[in-house]
Amino acid sequence: MIILMIIAIGWPLSPVDSTHAIGNNWGEFQRYGAGTAAYFHPGIDVMGITAGKKVFAVRRGIVRAWLTTQANEHWRLAIADTNITTDSVEAWLYAHIDPNRFHRNVGNVVNVGDSIGFLVTWPVTGFDHCHFARIKDIGATWSTADWTFVQNPLRIITPYVDTAHPVFLNAQGSNKFAFRTNNTTTYQTYNNLHGNVDIIVKLYDETGLPLTYKPIWEQLVPYKIEWEIHGATSKPVQLSVVFNAYLYWDDTMRVKTVFSTDATCNTQGDYDYRNYFFIVTNTDGDSLIETSDAANSWVTTSYPDGWYWVVITAYDAAGLSKKDSMQVRVVNGSYVAENGNTAPTTALGVKPNPNFGSFAATAGIPIKIYDASGRLVAVGSNRFANLLPGIYFAVGAIEGRTVTEKIVIIEK
């Protein structure tokens, strides 16, 4: 029998048994200043709210590192789970410890709840925080900060109370999503998609407690994003990105594989701006973020011309989710609607029927009926009945052309 041990840990700031505000999330896009490189934020920033708060060990261990990566504000402790030195071991990283006050040193053993130092006063007013991460390294002393970041703390920290669902914003003008030719800055209109297309979504998540004095700091990246296509040909749910495990945080090309940074959909992540544009189609469906994922896209040439629903779902680390969708048209040359930018409305000959939840279509045309979420609800060639009130889309083929018609059923 295999028993999986799930380690639950508390918070590194007081009170250790209560949810804290988060100022930056695991995997979040960050770039501070023009000309600097973008990177994935390798940890969560547990907000101190007031300067100089004590930092506490969340698990028993031995201090392997006490060092700074940059100036007085960036001192950090790495506390390994075990005393093994001949193999790599996991550890907890606590960053932004005040070097001028009490702190633990390399070789010290600490227990859960022990005080290990104090938060340094951050140069940006109000952003005093403990940068907290799960890392891995090898050796008796970790003298350089070249460890691997291996797990999002929000997946195992407890208690973690989050009632805020992810939030979708318009990605381009009044459009929910934006579309561009794969790996270019050439944007396509939603009703004329063709070739290999990148789908871009703008969204954020709120985690932990609110930061009313600086609400923009509450806007964080979500934990996971999925995408799917519904229409005459459908694409099942596929993972876009998940910020869970190993994070190659300083690989700029991996960052740009996930986040759009062009002039139209320009991702920003600093103290004043939080705008996250995700290229959801840059994925091969696994959980690894690789630069080769940028070659992937929505290959519209594999889909008959016509109207489709693009559906995006975002999740946070607490399991809350939000779904949004947009209707788009694929046009690769085989069909152009006579009425231009809108879906055809009469070609299927759909007519209302006096009976509740029923309608009839032109005889002999195979038709699929989808509801507003893109779910297939009926298939037939003439008469449809027993549909609940709502908005539906009839999709059928006429002379090799895919035609879509909107249907509204109201309660009689």
Tell me the two tokens of residue 169: 């914003």
Q: What are phi and psi of 151, to 5 degrees?
A: -160, 140
Residue closest to 360 by CA, chosen among 372, 370, 348, 368:
348
Q: What is the mean pLDDT of the chain?
A: 89
CA trace torsion 91, 97, 99, 101 (10° rounding): -110
pLDDT of residue 371: 81
pLDDT of residue 208: 82
Q: What pLDDT band is residue 34 in, cutting at 50, 70 and 90? A: confident
**pLDDT higher than 70, residue 252:** yes
List, for residues 297-328, the tens digit of each pLDDT value. 999 999 999 999 999 999 999 999 999 999 99
Give the predicted TM-score (pTM) of the model: 0.81
Tell me the two tokens of residue 377: 């609800």
Q: Residue 88: CA atoms inside 13 Å, Cβ hemisphere, count?
A: 8
Mean pLDDT computed over 104-118: 98
Tell me the two tokens of residue 59: 């698990």
**pLDDT higher than 50, residue 330:** yes
pLDDT of residue 346: 40
pLDDT of residue 381: 65
pLDDT of residue 394: 79
List, for residues 166-192, the tens digit of each pLDDT value. 999 999 999 999 999 999 999 999 999
Strands (E), 234-375: 235-242, 268-269, 274-275, 277-279, 298-299, 306-315, 321-330, 351-352, 359-360, 367-371
List, for residues 336-371, the tens digit of each pLDDT value. 333 334 443 345 555 554 444 455 555 567 788 888
By the 8 A CB rule, do 277 and 264 touch?
no
Q: What angle do CA 313, 315, 320 make, to 5 degrees?
A: 115
By the 8 A CB rule, do 223 and 207 touch?
no
Residue 160 CB contacts under 8 Å (≥ 6 apart), including other chains: 19, 154, 208, 317, 318
Q: What pLDDT band is residue 384 in, cutting at 50, 70 and 90? A: low
Residue closest to 328 by CA, chosen among 167, 200, 183, 184:
200
Q: What percent of the chain is predicted at pLDDT more than 70?
A: 87
Burial of 192 (0-12, 13-18, 19+ CB in 10 A): middle
Mean pLDDT computed over 80-85: 96
List, for residues 205-250, the tens digit of each pLDDT value. 998 889 999 999 999 999 999 999 999 999 999 999 999 999 999 9
> Could you tell me the end-to-end alpha-carbon distance of the chain, in angstroms, rounded to an integer?
59
Q: What percent of the chain is predicted at pLDDT more than 90?
A: 76
pLDDT of residue 354: 40
Neighbours of 364 (CB within 10 A): 7
Q: What pLDDT band is residue 373 in, cutting at 50, 70 and 90? A: confident
pLDDT of residue 410: 63
DSSP conformational letter for 4: P
pLDDT of residue 375: 80
Mean pLDDT computed over 363-387: 74
By the 8 A CB rule, do 408 and 310 touch?
no
Structural domains of the chain sorted by starting position, each given as residue range(s) with its CATH number in brackets: 44-151 (2.70.70.10), 167-330 (no CATH), 351-409 (2.60.40.10)
The three-state secondary structure class of 194 is: coil
List, for residues 123-176, the tens digit of each pLDDT value. 999 999 999 999 999 999 999 999 999 999 999 999 999 999 999 999 999 999
**pLDDT higher than 80, residue 406:** no
